[in-house]
Structure 1
Amino acid sequence: MIYRHVYLACRAAAARAYIAIMAIRTHAGVDSYLDGLPEWQRDICRELREIIHDADPEIEETIKRTVQPYFVLQGNVCALLATKDHINLFLYDPTVPDPAGIINQGHGNATGRAIQIYRDDPIDRPALTELLRAIVANNRAGGWRRLQKG
């Protein structure tokens, strides 16, 4: 019985710590954007937001283009855009490899590509995390444009 109380206390402490961390890393404008979405889109965006922050705890949120959530770390990493029937996750690095094939829009685009996620589509968390970490690594190394120039 005592172990159960310790376990529950640890879980509660971990949950409080997670909430505190998310409060530091989040932006009120992004919260407002998500709050205005239909439930299914909000759920997808919240899952994406969690994956983005898990990929690198230093990624910061901001609002650009008046209302669009962007995630930045030494340059743009990605952005969210809810449309009528799907969510776009724009990835701002056209050079990162996509071995899992999760990028489904913008192939050949000069500045970035996108993943369109429809209601009930599964999100490949490991593959997306790998892509985001590669974008962040390129940003930290000076950005994909500088890396392409050599």
Structure 2
Amino acid sequence: MTYVKDPRVDAYIDELPAWQQQICREVRDLVHAADPAVTETVKRRVRPYFELDGNICALLAAKTHVNIFLYDGAIVPDPDHIITGGQDNKTARTVAVYEGETLNKRALTAMLKQIIANNRAGGWRTIKKDRGQD
């Protein structure tokens, strides 16, 4: 798959241990595969973000895992229970992937596609408002 890469995202990933590089590259490929119009950037000095009509997700490598922050306003279903944190967060939830774990690509891809669809429909804030939530 080819897509426009932000060299700052490459630099972030290249500095990580090999197992974290692999996870970040897998997520990066999945986000771009979810929709070819996705763009990537760096915010908050070094954190990779993926956007399309709003934030989709961000990556943050921690000492023992990689956090994938999903900007979904907690409205995207998680039938496979891949969300590991932020269940009560009104903006983003996280999927933590630890060394040796396999990324649930199918479930993550479904969530990414739903976040993109929600962004195109005005974003999760608009959707929640239209539903009478929060």
Same fold (TM over 0.5): yes
> Cα distance, 1:116 vs. partner?
0.3
> Cα distance, 1:26 vs. partner?
1.1
Distance 1:53 1:138 in 2: 16
Unmatched 5+ residue regions in structure 2?
A: none
Distance 1:45 1:112 in 2: 18
Quote the residue 2:35 is aligned against.
56
The one-character-per-residue Cα deviations of 1:95-119 (angstroms, maximum 9, x if unpaired) are: 1011111111110111110000000
- The answer to whether residue 127 in structure 2 is matched with residue 147 in structure 1 is yes
> Cα distance, 1:55 vs. partner?
1.1
State the number of aligned residues: 129
Percentage of pairs with the same residue: 51
Quote the residue 1:79 is aligned against.
58
Quote the residue 2:85 is aligned against.
105
Distance 1:127 1:40 in 2: 20
The one-letter code sitting in structure 2 at the alignment partner of 1:100 is D
Name the TM-score, length of structure 1 as normaliser.
0.84
Distance 1:104 1:68 in 2: 20
Distance 1:103 1:127 in 2: 10
Distance 2:45 2:76 in 1: 28
Quote the residue 1:134 is aligned against.
114
Q: Which moved more, 1:134-143 or 1:52-61?
A: 52-61
Say which one has the larger Rg: 1
The one-character-per-residue Cα deviations of 1:24-79 (angstroms, maximum 9, x if unpaired) are: x2101000001111111111111111111111111100000000000000000000
Quote the residue 1:29 is aligned against.
8
Unmatched 5+ residue regions in structure 1?
A: 1-17
Distance 1:144 1:48 in 2: 21
- Root-mean-square deviation (CA, aligned residues, Å) is 0.8
- Greater relative CO (CA pairs within 8 A, separation 6+): 2
> Cα distance, 1:138 vs. partner?
0.4
Which consecutive segments of 4 or more residues in structure 1 shift more than 2 A?
none
Name the TM-score, length of structure 2 as normaliser.
0.94
Secondary structure (helix, strand or coil) at the match of 2:11 reads helix
> Cα distance, 1:145 vs. partner?
0.3
Match of 1:42 among 21, 26, 30: 21
